[in-house]
Amino acid sequence: MSLQLLLVDDEALARSRLRILLGDCAAPVAAVAAEAGNAAQAMELLQRQRFDAVLLDIHMPGADGLALAQALRSLPRPPAVVFVTAHAEHAVAAFDLEAVDYLTKPVRLERLQVALQKVQRLALAKSAANAEPEILLIQDRGRTERVPLAEVLYFKAELKYVTVRTAAKSYILDASLSELEERHAAQFLRVHRNALVARRAVRALEKHYDPEEGEGWAVRLNGIDELLSVSRRQLNAVREAMAA
């Protein structure tokens, strides 16, 4: 999935720098579909073309970026908004307009990639909301059960099988954890070599003592009392996911 972006900034040099930086982003893949130098040009483009996100400056001649972001909300399918500005003081107003992220110039590659990942997750969530619910087919005691993926709290590798846990029940699935991670990366986050958890279900990250691994961290999920250990290798990724 390649994200289609609109760059809106009255400075051509700023747009050029952002375009170069976007070219260095490893994931997700993003393409600059169009550019605009002011809010009026941007709105004209938005009314005839669909974008996944607008990377938007705030201080521009005429209507500023905040006014444009407000106007975007009236569109039938508004794009995600990521503010890119030299002025940090507008962050509260930006998030009141439901901006996905707020980047300050000069933009760092790492922060830009985090913002694009947020845009991608939002796009996938919107796509999933308009699609048929995804179902796992699980063989259970001689019968096949249909378990909605949206009900799954975690996948945990146990010997040759994977435990599938919902708030109400546990199932055994004959599958590979790595295949599940690849297929459902937008909805599930790896927290350990043996576990994936539903991003939407993560309630807390807390200190935890594991008899096998000693002092460490664990995630607490909505709907169950069980804690799942977080490996040192995955700790930063879990923290970033919770902050997103």
Judgement on whether residues 99 and 144 belong to the same structural domain of the protein:
no
| Domain, as residue range, for 170 | 135-243
Dump pLDDT digits (tens) for 89-130. Answer: 888 888 888 899 999 999 999 999 999 999 998 888 777 666
Dump pLDDT digits (tens) for 145-194. Answer: 999 999 999 999 988 899 999 999 999 998 899 999 998 988 999 999 99
Among 129, 153, 178, where does a domain finish?
129
Buried residues in 25-60 as b, exposed as e (16+ CB within 10 A): beebebebbbbbbbbebbbebbeeeebbbbbbbbeb
Judgement on whether residues 19 and 76 belong to the same structural domain of the protein:
yes
Per the CB < 8 A criterion, the answer to whether 189 and 241 are in contact is: yes
Find the farthest-apart pair of alpha carbons in the chain and give their distance in angstroms, rounded: 68
Judgement on whether residues 23 and 62 belong to the same structural domain of the protein:
yes
Q: What CATH number is given to the structural domain containing 114?
A: 3.40.50.2300
Dump pLDDT digits (tens) for 187-237. Answer: 999 999 999 999 999 999 999 887 777 789 999 999 999 999 999 999 999
Per the CB < 8 A criterion, the answer to whether 14 and 87 are in contact is: no
Q: Which long-range contacts (CB under 8 A, 24 or more apart) does 174-181 make?
A: 174/139, 180/155
Q: What CATH number is given to the structural domain containing 233?
A: 2.40.50.1020
Judgement on whether residues 19 and 123 belong to the same structural domain of the protein:
yes
Judgement on whether residues 124 and 140 belong to the same structural domain of the protein:
no
